[in-house]
Amino acid sequence: MAVGTQYLAEQPKLRTSSMVLGAIAIAALLAAPFFFYPVMLMSVLCFALFACAFNLLIGYVGLLSFGHAAFFGGAAYFTAHAAKVWGWEPLSAILLGVAGAAAMGLVIGFVAIRRQGIYFAMITLALSQMFAFICLQVPFTHGEDGIQGVPRGYLLGILDLNQPLAMYYVTLAIFLFGFFAIWRIVHSPFGNILKAIRENEKRAVSLGYRVDRYKLGAFVMSAALAGLAGGTKAIVFQFATLTDVQWQMSGEVILMTLLGGIGTLIGPIVGAGLVIALQNYLAASDFPVLVLIGIIFVICVLLFRRGIVGEILEFTRRKSKSAA
Amino acid sequence: MSSAPLLEVRGLNAWYGESHVLHGVDLDIHEGETVTLLGRNGAGKTTTLRSIMGILRRREGVIRLRGEDLLRLPLHKVAQAGIGYVPEERGIFASLNVSENLMLPPTVSEGGMSVEEIYTLFPNLYERRSSQGTKLSGGEQQMLAIARVLRTGAKIILLDEPTEGLAPVIVQRIGDVLVALKKRGMTILLVEQNFRFAKKVADRFYLMEDGRMVNSFPGHELDARMDELHEVLGV
Amino acid sequence: MSTIFGVPAPALYGQILIGLINGSFYAMLSLGLAVIFGLLRVINFAHGAQYMLGAFAAYLILNYAGIGYWPALILAPLIVGAIAVVIERFMLSRLYGIDPLYGLLLTFGLALILEGAFRYWFGAAGQPYAAPSQLTGAVNLGFMFMPIYRGWVVIASLVVCLGTWLLIEKTQLGAYLRAATENATLVQAFGVNVPLLLTLTYGLGAALAAFAGVLAAPIYQVSPLMGSNLIIIVFAVVVVGGMGSILGAIVTGYMLGVLEGLTKVFYPEASSIVIFVIMAIVLLVRPAGLFGQEE
């Protein structure tokens, strides 16, 4: 059983009900800031998008990147620098972050897709660590301090993002844009070829597909979307630091996806919400976060590899199968 | 022969994943006997050997060696119960030289051939003892695969198509080796497509079709049954 | 004072020595990773944590039981090896036969637990661990002064690497291991207790990492973070060497250590990334690694 092969996209007959559920979810997200602390919600949205971007690669191409922090944190640096030092408008600063992450994705992906499976994971980890070392040394990232005090600014020169609600709805819009972009990619002919590659790479090659190009394409898209999440996070939290480029961050996004359900559309969102909530909760106690994250990893791998959403889907699938 | 069989298989069913490949196979081999399984490709001959060895894990039924139930044993205990296995693909290890390949299977009981005896029986192997195992010719690899299980003291050996793809002169040589082993009292379960080769060594034949035993007859009836066999085997 | 390519000779020799020492650790750790991966098909992410655990075991038995360096060189690998055996029996063995990425994720989780726990108990700062009195001081080699302990590390690691290589290439146990790496089912069908072999191999790999940890304790201090910083570099070393060959892992380890040392002399800014750059170049030129075979 390969990672992520358990789940293809949800069946088409569920489409009506999933549209209703989607509408309810969007309504809930629109109302959420009136019930929850907006900063925490925005944090969840940024990480949820990051996890969805990561899941695009593992869930639909079967490639485990252990270096996605480079794109997330790298974009955060680019966006923060553009907004603070060059005084760019926030959306264009975020787009610069996306472009930077995509360019990095092209370079790292070009090297990493030369090996598969376990090697791919090690190579992406090593290359992202190299990027983290570079970030520590080059002047524009300000080393251990990071880029602090990034102005949120005015969106398109009009909307004041220092208003918490305005910032929240912009973040939500960016998240929804990213999420639907992923949904489109997964359900496009391109996405179908990716799934074919994941199921049986040799067959895809023999059918004449330039498998490496498709993999690289998916890698760049995943990197760009991770960059969208990272750039947005830099504007929301007004800083970019080394934390976001280090391997622990790559580990966190893997955990979010694994916990929620690899290869499910909404699993990474559930996983991100849970992990962020847990971290916030633990921040008040003195229990070491790293230990807890490690324990969740071990439990997920040993007991429910499908993740929460994956297990629920499997359960309902079995139930409907036995009922039929 | 009225004594209890050395190896006794009763109602053996086996599955590759979801597909049911053996359907109630019965098989008896007495001490010192050489028994040959005949059948088309895909009839379940190799699967029968793999099921007896325990390489194929999903099985039901009875497999007994001298009364000991093999079905419940973990894979490595089956060989230790006294079975030697010569797989179809020969299973010579590339990262081991000839002598290491020969010494690989652990001794399972007293009475195996000594290394000197083996090298006397297979002088080629002695000459090439320091070569990488997979650098040997196909025939030499087959000799090595057989030699390897003779050392262990196994009471019965399972041989899967030892002559496949080999030149007639090598087939002849392997036939001589099997005759010599018979003389030493070795019990052999052979899977073979080559009638002429099998006739030389087999005391009894079993005929398999679609995962079932369809017939069994003594070795001397082979010639008389040729027409029937040609029909079943499609050769 | 003599210079080589404009660099003072003693500085050059000093960095080569440091490179050799780092290379010793790369070699020992990548060797263990390669042996474990060969047989278990698991990339042991916890390898760095097991190295750290080895150093801490030495530190703890010194401070709580007064047991010194020399016994620790034996005891720490035994302790860590025993823990690894339990991990293999109860966790890793459940993952055989499924996608190897799960083994990576499991051992990653274990690494986080170990690192987090030790950080919680001891803080992120390093604890000092003194070299044994027999190995303090320095010796004049004629062209440079070499601290005796550093020379010992290089020699000890060479002996351990060579010993492991001999164990694998020249003994019956090693023959089982090599054969099982090729075809574990057939080896087990011959009567070798392969599940036990897997357990022992994981224990041995972890014990090697712990031995390296004890050797490292007097040089780098004992810190909860010492393993995670190292393991990623070792991954790169393993990718460069290719995991097919034991000797390849050892040679690549020393070679990259020395190259890193030389980079510190000639272009210090790049010294922390040179191994990763080499990895990228090797992947572009020879994707299977220097000593690997295309699978």
Quote the ipTM score.
0.91
Gap between the Cα atoms of C29 and C253, Å rounded: 9
Q: What is the pLDDT of residue C154?
A: 93
Tell me if C190 and B106 make a contact (CB, 8 A cut-off). Answer: yes
Q: Which domains does chain C have, with CATH numbers?
A: 3-127+149-285 (1.10.3470)
Tell me if B76 and C194 make a contact (CB, 8 A cut-off). Answer: yes
Lowest mean pLDDT, pick from A200-209, A218-227, A254-263: A200-209
Radius of gyration (C-alpha) of chain B in whole angstroms: 17
| Per-residue confidence band for A22, with pLDDT thresholds at 50, 70 and 90 | confident
Tell me if B55 and C189 make a contact (CB, 8 A cut-off). Answer: yes
Q: What is the pLDDT of residue A324?
A: 57
Residue A10 pLDDT > 50, yes or no? no
Q: How far is CA C276 from the centre of its chain?
A: 17
**Residue A52 token pair:** 């969805």
Give the minimum alpha-carbon distance from A279 to chain C in angstroms, rounded to a whole number: 14
| Per-residue confidence band for B147, with pLDDT thresholds at 50, 70 and 90 | very high
Average pLDDT over residues A276-285: 84
More confident residue, C134 or C295: C134
With touching defined as 3 or more inter-chain CB pairs under 8 Å, the answer for chains B and A is no
Residue A34 pLDDT > 80, yes or no? no
According to DSSP, the β-strands at A159-160 and A154-155 are: antiparallel
Residue C184 pLDDT > 50, yes or no? yes
Lowest mean pLDDT, pick from A3-12, A231-240, B34-43, C201-210: A3-12
Q: How far is CA B1 from the centre of its chain?
A: 22
Residues of chain B contacting residue C181, judged by C-beta atoms under 8 Å apart: 95
Q: Can you tell me whether residue B19 is helix, strand or coil? A: strand
Burial class (CB in 10 A: 0-12, 13-18, 19+), B134: middle
CB A19 within 8 A of CB A217: no
Residue A30 pLDDT > 70, yes or no? yes
Q: What is the pLDDT of residue A11?
A: 46
Residues of chain A contacting residue C29, judged by C-beta atoms under 8 Å apart: none
Average pLDDT over residues C23-44: 91
Q: What is the pLDDT of residue A32?
A: 73
Alpha helices for chain C (secondary structure H):
9-40, 47-65, 69-90, 101-122, 148-170, 172-189, 194-220, 226-241, 246-266, 274-285
Give the minimum alpha-carbon distance from C172 to chain B in angstroms, rounded to a whole number: 7
Select the residue of B75, B77, B91 nearest C183 (Cβ to Cβ).
B91
Residue A4 pLDDT > 50, yes or no? no
Per residue in B66-103, pLDDT tens? 888 999 899 999 999 999 999 998 999 999 999 999 99
Residue B103 touches chain C, beta carbons under 8 Å: yes
Lowest mean pLDDT, pick from A30-39, B148-157, C96-105: A30-39
Residues of chain A contacting residue C115, judged by C-beta atoms under 8 Å apart: 290, 294
Neighbours of B (≥3 Cβ pairs closer than 8 A)?
Answer: C
Residue C191 pLDDT > 50, yes or no? yes
Tell me if B93 and C193 make a contact (CB, 8 A cut-off). Answer: no
Task: Calculate the CA dihedral of residues B135, B139, B144, B146 and round it to 10 degrees.
Answer: 150
> Is the CA virtual torsion C211, C212, C218, C220 positive or negative?
negative
Q: What is the pLDDT of residue A263?
A: 85
Q: What is the pLDDT of residue A137?
A: 85
C-alpha closest to that of C197 among C211, C213, C178, C216: C178
Tell me if C191 and B79 make a contact (CB, 8 A cut-off). Answer: yes
| Per-residue confidence band for A264, with pLDDT thresholds at 50, 70 and 90 | confident
C-alpha closest to that of C100 among A2, B71, B151: A2
Gap between the Cα atoms of C94 and C72, Å rounded: 32
Residue C280 pLDDT > 60, yes or no? yes
- Segment A1-4 long-range contacts (CB within 8 Å, at least 24 positions apart): A1/C98, A1/C99, A2/A62, A2/A198, A2/C99, A3/A58, A3/A62, A3/A64, A3/A262, A3/C99, A3/C101, A3/C102, A4/A58, A4/A59, A4/A60, A4/A62, A4/A198, A4/A262, A4/A263
Q: What is the pLDDT of residue A26?
A: 81
Give the minimum alpha-carbon distance from A97 to chain C in angstroms, rounded to a whole number: 23
Domain ranges of chain B: 7-233
Q: What is the pLDDT of residue A106?
A: 94
Give the minimum alpha-carbon distance from C34 to chain A in angstroms, rounded to a whole number: 12
Gap between the Cα atoms of A12 and C194, Å rounded: 46
Q: What is the pLDDT of residue A7?
A: 44
CB B152 within 8 A of CB B106: yes
Tell me if C276 and A301 make a contact (CB, 8 A cut-off). Answer: no
Gap between the Cα atoms of A79 and A230, Å rounded: 8
| Per-residue confidence band for C156, with pLDDT thresholds at 50, 70 and 90 | very high
Residue B155 pLDDT > 80, yes or no? yes
Q: Can you tell me whether residue B68 is helix, strand or coil? A: strand
> Can you tell me which residue has the tokens 């324990």?
A295
Per residue in B158-191, pLDDT tens? 999 998 888 888 898 889 889 988 888 899 999 9
Gap between the Cα atoms of A167 and C262, Å rounded: 50
Q: What is the pLDDT of residue A5?
A: 44
CB A220 within 8 A of CB A39: no
Residue C164 pLDDT > 90, yes or no? yes
Gap between the Cα atoms of B105 and C192, Å rounded: 7
Residues with Cβ within 8 Å of residue B234, at least 6 apart in sequence: B40
Average pLDDT over residues C121-133: 86
The rounded mean pLDDT for chain A is 85
Per residue in A52-75, pLDDT tens? 999 999 888 888 999 999 999 999
Average pLDDT over residues A268-273: 91
- Which conformational region is residue B83 in: left (phi greater than 0), alpha (psi within -120 to 50 degrees), or beta? beta
Residue B2 pLDDT > 80, yes or no? no
| Superfamily covering domain B7-233 | P-loop containing nucleotide triphosphate hydrolases (3.40.50.300)
Per residue in B125-144, pLDDT tens? 999 989 998 899 888 999 99
**Residue B130 token pair:** 């320091």
Residues of chain C contacting residue A137, judged by C-beta atoms under 8 Å apart: 269, 272
Average pLDDT over residues C115-122: 92
Q: What is the pLDDT of residue C294?
A: 52
Residues of chain B contacting residue C246, judged by C-beta atoms under 8 Å apart: none
Residue B35 touches chain C, beta carbons under 8 Å: no
Tell me if C117 and A297 make a contact (CB, 8 A cut-off). Answer: no
Give the minimum alpha-carbon distance from C283 to chain A in angstroms, rounded to a whole number: 7
